[in-house]
Amino acid sequence: MISKESLNLQLDLIDKLKAKATSAPKLSSKFIKSNFASLETAFLIRAVEMALLDLFAQGKMNGTVHTCVGQELTGVAISNALKEGDWITSNHRCHGHFIAKTGRWADLIDELLGLKSGVCGGIGSSQHLFDRGFISNGTQGSLLPVASGLCYGYVRDGKDNVSVSFIGEGTLGEGNVYEAMNLSAIIGLPHVIVCENNFYSQSTPQGENFRGSIQGRAESFGWKYYESDTWDAEALFNVCSDAVADARENQTPVFINLHTYRLNAHSKGDDDREKDEIDFFYENDLLHKLSTNKQFVEVIARIDKEIKLHIDRVLEIGEKFAFEDYIEDQLPRAVSVKSKRLDNPKIKLIKALRNSFDFELENGAYIIGEDIHDPYGGAFKLTLGLDEKYPGQVISTPISEAAITGFGIGMSMAGRKTFVEIMFGDFIVNAIDQIVNNASKFFHMYAKQQSTNVTIRTPMGGGRGYGPTHSQSLEKLLLGIDNVAVFALTSMIHPAELVHYISKLPCPNILIESKVDYGATLFQSDSVKNVDLNIVGGAAGTAVLSPLGKSAYNDVVVIAYGFLGRMIANNFKEIFEESDALFEVFVVQQLNPLPLAHFEKSVRKTGKVLIVEEGSANFGWGSELAYQLSQIVPDAEINRIGARSVPIPSTRELEEDILVGKQDIINALRRLVG
Amino acid sequence: MEVMVPKENNNDQVVMITKLYVENGCFIDQGADLIEFETSKTAVVLQSPAAGYVTFYYQVDDEVEVNSPVCSINDKAPESDLSTDKEIINISSDTKRHDGLTFSKVASKLDKNLTDLDGHYWVTSRVLANSDPLVRAGLESQEKNNSNRDTKVQSSISSDIDVREEDYKVIKTTMRKRSEISNLRISGGGEFQSTIGIEITGGSRLAKNLVFESSIQDLVCYESSKMLGNEYNDLNAFYISDSEIGIFNSVAVGISLDNDNNKLTVARINDSNTLTLLGIQDRLGSLFIQFEDGTLSAESLMPSTYTITDLSSSGATYILPLLNGAEALILGIVRKGYDSFGVYASFDHRVSSGLRVSHFLDNLKARIEAHFDFTSTVEGGKCDFCFKSLSEELELGNRGLLCLSTPAGQKNICSNCYAGW
């Protein structure tokens, strides 16, 4: 039940809105004439929306739709102010924005009919549309940071393009919005937010959901504020034009608050608003008033006829997207098994990594993260010196993991290879929405029209006593996300080839680094006697430490990654002596997809596998690896060990007991060899 | 849950485990046979009170206190513990390291033939098992047996007598024997020696031997050695403690020698159970000569595993021989009549029993008497060459007819024909 206070607020807001609606001046003939095409577009949008609702009612459409009937002029007004190269990011109620920007009304209908000829091959449907210059997604506010990133691309290119983000006023509850607003303001980006303020968030009145003022919020972030409504079209078009021009010419973020009213339900039939209220705004709707205008009667009739003809045709001949075409992803599944000797230079991993990024920056890449500017150079000093060497390519941001990640996605859409640094792996959960709902989805839901080759890199792991929220290894939360590859650095292998390799991948990818491993000198092949050190699989290959002698006597294959792989190599002799197990160590760099071919042969030979992972063992990487190995080598005896499933404490002894240590590996090997 | 040793009778404070029906770590059903142990009265089989995985706290031949836990029955199988010595077959204490080879700790405790490790750099116990035939064959845990040796061994042996550890193996005495010893100790005033005698009939030997013409010492020596080396090996032993006896690995009969000039001495014949009768006779002859000359070797003066003392050349008709040093059996021979001998066996009741020794003597009698020809009589004999009768030969003052082994078989020959031969 809405509280009395909220109800009163809402009633007050609606009253003011009604006043706007009734006090709007009548459109002049001059305006109508000079903006006839725009108004025609508005009628087209409405007609398409109504046709879609009709198709749903007939059962010829699947899923859902959020029509913008009553709000058509917002998209038209903004699109009038845009030019080639500008981008719109939209939301669930995107049809009007899409048609206004692209004109592809027929493809939109096909999309909702699930046809291959649709905007996104029928895959994305109503909420997930894509075209060059247009992108929409169903999660509220998540595309705002993406829009910021796109803007940065324009700025770096010296272009005067803008990004326009459509939101509803309900989206002002999402953190993404404020992170993006802060970031765009700090950098000074031509980012336009258009808030279609229709005073209802789905079923919840604004009076219940919102406090303060929209203007106050925008201006508190340093954004320029504009306001208008959809009843005074002339004022609307002028405001939008001025606002966009302001952003474009002054490279400044601009917030446009557009009052409007949704005449239809939130989606198809869910509407708890008072009928009288809806009827009032319907009667005062501009398009409704214009619909009786003789000029527009013909337009409406023509539009309706065209829509009907199109629908009739596609319903007969329409083709669906094929399963085989859809299912294929961009993950690097092809794995090389070429092996070569591994000789590492004597250099610390952190320095080798910095050099690797130096190379990438030299080739035009960007690094974005918190506290990465010189002289600080990042929490682990990875970017030390790079900011000064490559100004503008090392972007230090506020503490906004979601915005940073979305920004990186946007930059990659703008053609800029971007490495997003999340300071501690523990914080990556703040960016999960960007990874899962944007980066992961773009390729498939937009029918493979948009790739996102952003790299998100983050140091994980315990061993420093940093405590529960600074010591986690959260790989398992990131593994198995659609179309997202996951890699792990290790001081067993120089990182340069891997970094370059992942910079070229078409899919989004995550690079797990180990804060404990940063300080290690790269593994030297002569540091353990009587072993061979090779790398199999090329750039994303696996380091293989093989004991010399008759390999038929090898007992176990040990598969690990990151710091633990290095720890096992460092203690190879002692682990062997204590466990009475002769083992071959595979330190993988590619965690997903699993490079089974790198160690399949050895697994078949020994029949025993020990998987060692840094994160907690249950439901982790080791479990998936064990399953996949069991499919190809059914008789193999496989064990996996990982950290205990409790938050990692700060006290040293307890932390050691929780994390995987040398003795855990010895004990596990002993159990395997009996 | 733990399984306790039940108190079967009021006399026993400990029992001895004689059988484990399942292996350690294996699953057992409720009610299945679990452990057999021996009390002073009888053998008892304990059934498992529950189903589960067994962890034994003891092994066969171990003694367990009554009312104490002997094993546990668990829901999960026990993990193997490579760190315990029980898991390691310790053949030799030598651990050699070869340049370039790294041994696991388990492997370093095993004996190894390094030439079998060519091509290896990292050596585990499995590498050794596949490379070394001795390890592969599975060696006995001699070290474990030796480590179980009771220190009481030294206290039960005279400080003058040197029994080398490698010359015997230790076995546990039964609970009943221990109870018997205990009772003897109480009732017999500490005396544990018993003597049983048997009469053996001699006569005309099937294989004549001039030296042992009127004695059966060689036959007793020969046959008893054979028996002690086989089915009566338990008499070739000595008492260590109430719970242990030592069984000698070989048979070395001791021959008691005494004359007016030299003191009583026991000279031994090594591996007497492996010699033929002629060999025994030859060794005995040598010992006699050496004893007379005072030239017995030090080796022959080493402790024997049992002793024979022969007084058949004296007029004694009864003997009660005393056990000698670390032995459980001594045989004394006396003459009962012209062709009749008495063999008396004194034995250590802590090692054996009267029934056992009497069986031994029965068999010994049968075996010795088999050396004699009881089918020919004095009256029926004649010289096969001149056909002189035995009685005629005796009338001439000769002892009798000689028995000659010829390709045609055994012949009687008188002294006149023999001299003319």
* Residues of A with Cβ-Cβ distance to B121 under 8 angstroms: 530, 547-549
Subunit contact B124:A555, Cβ cutoff 8 A: yes
Of the partner residues B79, B105, B126, the one whose CB lies closest to the CB of residue A578: B105
Alpha helices in A251-293 (DSSP H): 275-283, 286-290
Q: Is the pTM of this model over 0.90?
A: no
CA pair distance A396, A366, nearest whole angstrom: 11
CB A421 within 8 A of CB A464: no
Closest residue, chain A, to B131 (C-alpha): A553
Question: Hey, is the C-beta of A582 within 8 angstroms of any chain B C-beta?
Answer: yes
Cα angle: A301, vertex A307, A310; to 5 degrees: 140
Residue of A546, A582, A666, A669 to mutate for B, most B C-beta atoms under 10 A: A582
Confidence bin at B375 (pLDDT 50/70/90): low
Residue of A577, A579, A663, A669 to mutate for B, most B C-beta atoms under 10 A: A577
pLDDT tens readout for residues A259-283 = 999 998 888 777 888 899 999 999 9
Of the partner residues A553, A578, A671, the one whose CB lies closest to the CB of residue B127: A553
Count of other CB atoms within 10 angstroms of residue A650: 15
CA pair distance A104, A106, nearest whole angstrom: 6
pLDDT of residue A550: 78
Subunit contact B120:A576, Cβ cutoff 8 A: no
DSSP three-state, residue A346: coil
DSSP symbol at B205? B
**Model confidence at B137: pLDDT above 70:** no
Cα angle: B267, vertex B269, B275; to 5 degrees: 160
Subunit contact A580:B122, Cβ cutoff 8 A: no
CA pair distance A663, A575, nearest whole angstrom: 8
Question: Hey, is the C-beta of A552 within 8 angstroms of any chain B C-beta?
Answer: no
**Model confidence at B314: pLDDT above 60:** yes
- Taking only Cα atoms into account, the Rg of chain B, rounded to an integer number of angstroms, comes to 29
CB A42 within 8 A of CB A76: yes
Subunit contact A577:B102, Cβ cutoff 8 A: yes
pLDDT tens readout for residues A313-367 = 998 887 888 888 898 999 999 888 889 999 999 999 999 999 999 999 999 999 9
**Model confidence at B188: pLDDT above 80:** no
Subunit contact B122:A530, Cβ cutoff 8 A: yes
First to last CA, chain A: 66
pLDDT tens readout for residues B37-46 = 888 777 888 9
Question: Hey, is the C-beta of A410 within 8 angstroms of any chain B C-beta?
Answer: no
Short-list A169, A167, A184, A194, CA closest to A78: A194
Confidence bin at B112 (pLDDT 50/70/90): low
Low-confidence ranges of chain A (pLDDT < 70): none
The strand ranges marked E within B273-376 are 306-310, 329-337, 340-348
CA pair distance A439, A431, nearest whole angstrom: 11
**Model confidence at B33: pLDDT above 80:** yes
| B251, B286, B292 from B307: Cα distances, Å | 11, 17, 19
CA pair distance B33, B20, nearest whole angstrom: 9
**Model confidence at B88: pLDDT above 60:** no
Candidate from A255-269, A516-530, B83-97, B209-223 with smallest mean pLDDT: B83-97
Of the partner residues A530, A553, A579, the one whose CB lies closest to the CB of residue B102: A530
Count of other CB atoms within 10 angstroms of residue B218: 23
What does the pLDDT average to over B67-90?
A: 59
Of the partner residues B100, B106, B121, the one whose CB lies closest to the CB of residue A547: B121
Q: What are phi and psi of A501, to 5 degrees?
A: -60, -45
* Mean pLDDT computed over every residue of chain B: 79
Determine the length of chain A.
674
Token code pair at residue A563? 């710091």
Short-list A20, A8, A15, A9, CA closest to A259: A20
DSSP notation for A192-256: EEEEEE-SEETTEEHHHH--S-HHHHHHHTT-EEEEEESS-HHHHHHHHHHHHHHHHHHT--EEE
| A460, B5, B49, B56, B69 from B2: Cα distances, Å | 47, 10, 9, 10, 6
H-run or E-run covering A514: strand A509-514
Q: In a 10 Å sphere around its CB, with 0-12 CB exposed, 13-18 middle and 19+ buried, how is residue A500 labelled?
A: middle
Of the partner residues B79, B107, B130, the one whose CB lies closest to the CB of residue A580: B107
Closest residue, chain B, to A576 (C-alpha): B104
**Model confidence at B235: pLDDT above 80:** yes
| A550, B107, B132 from A578: Cα distances, Å | 20, 10, 21
Question: Hey, is the C-beta of A548 within 8 angstroms of any chain B C-beta?
Answer: yes
pLDDT of residue B81: 40
pLDDT of residue B141: 34
* Mean pLDDT computed over every residue of chain A: 94
CB A507 within 8 A of CB A452: yes
More confident residue, A139 or B13: A139
| B46, B177, B353 from B172: Cα distances, Å | 21, 10, 16
Cα angle: A566, vertex A569, A572; to 5 degrees: 150
Candidate from A612-616, B258-262, B288-292 with smallest mean pLDDT: B258-262
Confidence bin at B140 (pLDDT 50/70/90): very low
Confidence bin at B78 (pLDDT 50/70/90): low
**Model confidence at B91: pLDDT above 90:** no
Subunit contact A573:B80, Cβ cutoff 8 A: no
Question: Hey, is the C-beta of A554 within 8 angstroms of any chain B C-beta?
Answer: no
Confidence bin at B131 (pLDDT 50/70/90): low
Question: Hey, is the C-beta of B34 within 8 angstroms of any chain A C-beta?
Answer: no
**Model confidence at B152: pLDDT above 60:** no
pLDDT of residue A429: 97
* Residues of B with Cβ-Cβ distance to A582 under 8 angstroms: 122, 124, 127
Subunit contact A580:B100, Cβ cutoff 8 A: no
Confidence bin at B190 (pLDDT 50/70/90): low
Question: Hey, is the C-beta of B125 within 8 angstroms of any chain A C-beta?
Answer: yes
Confidence bin at B421 (pLDDT 50/70/90): low
More confident residue, A360 or B87: A360
